[in-house]
Structure 1
Amino acid sequence: MRKIIYFMSMSVDGYIESPDKDIHWHHVDDELHHALNERLAAMGGFLHGRVVHELMAEFWPTADQDPANAGPTADFAVIWRDMPKYVYSRTLQRADWNTTVVHDVVAEEVMALKAQPGGDLALGGAGLAASFAALDLIDEYWIYVHPVLIGRGKPMFPSTDTMTDLRLAGTMAFGNGVVELRYERAEEPPAR
């Protein structure tokens, strides 16, 4: 069965964007972009909310047509266009670029999607991830910690009363100071 992987960049203090929705503090260089492309190209689909999808759809469909975007940026444009996308939105009625609109996060429907053949599913966006987490649907967390403190903004993880035990599955440090942390759900909770 395919896994759902919450795939996100955050600051050291746990934010995914500043209060004004700025993400220019992300340290994405060619080395990191190549690594992200490699991981995402192996996925079977992207799961996003409407806001994330609309931001992606503003840039990626034609990004590789601009010579200034050569290299990993152009490579990701092809990955993004070709990848099946599932956009969770109660207001969006249709979307282009190989996209299926889904109106609600329903556990049985997500499990049916996981049961389909293909690569794992990359989940993006804190709000959508919170909905998936509330239904216990996230299998792994791939967190890219950027070497910056932004002080306040949108947290990667919303407050919750649920504790989820995780097991470290791998790490990688990049030359620009970004650290990849990969966690999977623990089979059994550690003794407390």
Structure 2
Amino acid sequence: MRPLRYAINVTLDGCCHHEAGIAPDEESMRFWTDELARSDAQIYGRVTYEMMQSAWRRPASGIWPEWMSEWETPFAETLDRMPKHVVSRTLDVVDWNAALLQGDLGDAVRALKAEPGRGLAVGGVTLPLALADLGLIDEYAFVVHPVLAGHGPTLLSGLRERIRLDLVERRELGSGVTVMRYRPVG
């Protein structure tokens, strides 16, 4: 069974808005590229899918945009070619190596997890909350930024039941960011 992993940038006060932390640097982009490579496919909600697509999809010209640093290209190339599954009540069609995830969320994700492979990754805010409530997330990676945002969406806000976690890895990056990887107890 493929594990489902949730990884997200978060500030010290729990904000997980994508612009609330420290801007990515070469070391953090290597982490995120390696994190992508641990999985066979991504699972996104509509908002995260559209945000990631607007930033990381290879342009029709085949040339990455000028704003992209050379050290961001491996992340972009890995994500661009990776299969994606999108959960949405409003989209009828998706592209960018993507398919809509149909039917009951729990059943659909359990079916994906049952397929052979290295793993699945989920990103975003709302969808991971639903998957955590269903007990489907096998690993959490919190990339904690030494910033107090003071506002914005917070990590797993509204979780129905407490989930106890075991710390399995802790790593500090040169920027002051700390990566903490956890697995649910039991």
User: What runs of 5+ residues in structure 1 fail to find an aligned partner?
Assistant: 188-192
Calculate the TM-score normalised by the size of structure 1. Answer: 0.88
Q: Give the superposition deviation at 1:122.
A: 1.0
**Identical amino acids, percent of aligned pairs:** 33
Who is 1:172 aligned against?
171
Runs of 4+, deviation exceeding 6 Å: none
Deviates more, 1:82-91 or 1:63-72: 63-72
1:39 aligns with 2:35: yes
Give the Cα separation in 2 of the matches to 1:57 and 1:66. Answer: 13
Secondary structure of 2:44's match? strand
Who is 1:57 aligned against?
53
Q: Give the superposition deviation at 1:6.
A: 1.1
Aligned residue pair count:
183
Who is 2:142 aligned against?
143
Who is 1:90 aligned against?
89
Who is 1:48 aligned against?
44
Calculate the TM-score normalised by the size of structure 2. Answer: 0.91
Give the Cα separation in 2 of the matches to 1:59 and 1:124. Answer: 15
1:76 aligns with 2:72: no
Taking a change above 3 Å as real, the CA distance of residues 105 and 72 of structure 1, as seen in their structure-2 partners, is: farther
- State the one-letter code of the partner of 1:119: R
Who is 1:111 aligned against?
110
Output the aligned Cα RMSD: 1.7
1:23 aligns with 2:19: yes
- State the one-letter code of the partner of 1:66: P
Taking a change above 3 Å as real, the CA distance of residues 117 and 97 of structure 1, as seen in their structure-2 partners, is: same
Secondary structure of 2:58's match? helix
